[in-house]
Amino acid sequence: ESGLITLDKGFKNTGSTTSDITFLDGEKGILKHRGYSIEDLAENSSYLEVAYLLIYGELPTQEEFSNFKAGIKENQLVHEEIKTILSGFPSKAHPMGVLSSLATSLTAFYPESLDPNRSKNKVNLTILRLLAKIPTFVSWSYTKRMGLPHNYPDNSLDYVPNFLKMMFSVPTEQYEIDPVVVDALQKLLILHADHEQNCSTSTVRIVGSSQASLYASIASGVSALWGPLHGGANQAVIQMLESIKADGGDVNKYVQKAKDKDDPFRLMGFGHRVYKNFDPRARIIKKNADEILSRLGIEDPVLEIAKKLEEVALKDDYFVERKLFPNVDFYSGIIFRAIGIPTEMFTVMFSIGRLPGWIAQWKEMREHKEPIGRPRQIYTGNPERPYIPIEER
Ligand code: SDX
């Protein structure tokens, strides 16, 4: 075929689509969803309201929001066969692998989700079911890992308190909802909600562009987010901070290691493809970390190590020249840990946060009838050569 192919590995300078959902300014560290700043939303909104805004384009009226919340409550129960699927996983299965499989399993329970031409109402029901069932999937995969009984959704509670109760309540005790924990988790989920065409969202879009179901597309987004360079970084940050702590807290040594090109070690939670300034989400999370830990009466030594690491790195030429700042994953794990989320589930929490963004981007791509994603390449392999029978090789 004729026509020049421009190679752009990692799509560093490629725009893959047009979108009305999220605006990023990497130089100024600006993030907006449908025109509302992330600071405003984190301060005033709730995770479900931001989910509605991302997916449907406007902040909901009272009536729209109560219908949306009612729809979620009607769909929070999962088919009892989910327990059979869960029991099939090895006990050490990573929660991201479990989540990806459970998301895909929804196509079995709701085969109409496979019909790319189904009505708008059916698409909205497909979306509601996913938003409603993910907290149940996540909490059941946690209680399975812990060998504890599964908790059913409690429709007398709002979304975030219900999730916390399903995660942490046990049948033998009264479960107290802690408003500090609820508020902290609301904010964290809002801060993870969408981020334009990042790796996992681009994955959701390209899988959806083949007319694969929303559930299969989201499952692929979970897999992309899992990687330590992307959403897996929040787990890697805590593991890094723990090893610095175990190593006497010598942050300088790790900053030097991160600069050494012969050492594969990177400062996890630092750097970003778009932000060449402080990630506005990291700024909000850092501010909240202090407040939440003191309101919960928790002294977490890794918070001090994180702050020291940030201070040393932001003064170091290597990081300054490359404009490497803390990103959303740098402080988030400290709060997830403070509210009782186990380290191996930090990236699952990122998935819950990002779910409305993935859904909104998938829906926009399908409504815009975007073509199937099929990039080209520059061939660098062997020129033509004749087949050689095995006895002559
Ligand atoms: C997320 O895209 C999104 O929006 C993602 C996200 C979202 O909300 O969806 O924001 C969520 O994934 C945040 C990023 C989480 N990942 C990490 O914290 C892992 C550590 N960070 C790096 O791996 C890296 O910074 C990336 C992956 C985030 C960005 O990679 P790029 O844009 O491909 O940059 P690069 O790897 O080409 O680095 C440029 C230079 C290189 O040095 P030189 O070759 O120029 O000498 O900066 C260096 C890199 O070696 N560098 C780092 C570094 N990050 C970049 N050096 C040490 N430590 C780091 N963390």
Alpha-helical runs (H) found in the chain: 38-44, 47-56, 62-74, 81-87, 95-109, 120-146, 159-168, 179-191, 199-208, 214-226, 233-246, 251-259, 280-295, 301-315, 317-321, 328-338, 346-367
Question: What mean pLDDT do residues 98-126 have?
Answer: 95
- Closest C-alpha to ligand 1, atom 14: 230
Q: Does residue 229 line the site of ligand 1, with CB under 6 A? A: yes
Residue among 38, 188, 229 to mutate when testing ligand 1 (max atoms within 8 A of CB): 229
What's the pTM? 0.97
Question: What mean pLDDT do residues 350-362 have?
Answer: 98
- Closest C-alpha to ligand 1, atom 39: 322
- CA-201 nearest atom, ligand 1: 9
Please state, in angstroms and rounded to a whole number, the distance separating the CA atoms of residues 16 and 3. Answer: 19
- CA-200 nearest atom, ligand 1: 9
Nearest to 275 by CA among 23, 28, 40: 28
Question: What mean pLDDT do residues 28-46 have?
Answer: 98
pLDDT for residue 342 = 96
Q: Look at residue 25 and give its three-state secondary structure.
A: strand
pLDDT for residue 1 = 45
> pLDDT, tens digit, for every residue of 328-340?
999 999 999 999 9
Ligand 1 center to 282 CA (angstroms)? 15
Residue among 273, 325, 332, 347 to mutate when testing ligand 1 (max atoms within 8 A of CB): 273
Ligand 1 center to 324 CA (angstroms)? 8
- Closest C-alpha to ligand 1, atom 8: 195
Contact yes or no for 59/219 (Cβ under 8 A): no
Q: Does residue 188 line the site of ligand 1, with CB under 6 A? A: no
Query: How far is C-alpha 49 from the geometric centre of its chain's CA atoms?
Result: 17
Which residues are known to be catalytic? 272, 329
Please state, in angstroms and rounded to a whole number, the distance separating the CA atoms of residues 279 and 292. Answer: 20
Please state, in angstroms and rounded to a whole number, the distance separating the CA atoms of residues 317 and 323. Answer: 9
- Closest C-alpha to ligand 1, atom 3: 198
Q: Does residue 209 line the site of ligand 1, with CB under 6 A? A: no
Please state, in angstroms and rounded to a whole number, the distance separating the CA atoms of residues 24 and 45. Answer: 19
> pLDDT, tens digit, for every residue of 156-202?
999 999 999 999 999 999 999 999 999 999 999 999 999 999 999 99
Please state, in angstroms and rounded to a whole number, the distance separating the CA atoms of residues 77 and 94. Answer: 23
Give 2's pLDDT tier (boundaries 50, 70, 90).
Answer: low
Ligand 1 center to 115 CA (angstroms)? 38
Question: What mean pLDDT do residues 347-362 have?
Answer: 98
Ligand 1 center to 325 CA (angstroms)? 10
pLDDT for residue 4 = 86
In the chain, the percentage of residues whose pLDDT exceeds 70 is: 99
- Closest C-alpha to ligand 1, atom 55: 271
Q: Does residue 78 line the site of ligand 1, with CB under 6 A? A: no
> pLDDT, tens digit, for every residue of 198-228?
999 999 999 999 999 999 999 999 999 999 9
Helix (H) / strand (E) containing 22 = strand 22-25
Give 387's pLDDT tier (boundaries 50, 70, 90).
Answer: very high
> pLDDT, tens digit, for every residue of 62-76?
999 999 999 999 999
Question: What mean pLDDT do residues 233-244 have?
Answer: 96
- CA-270 nearest atom, ligand 1: 60
Mean pLDDT rounded to a whole number for the chain: 96
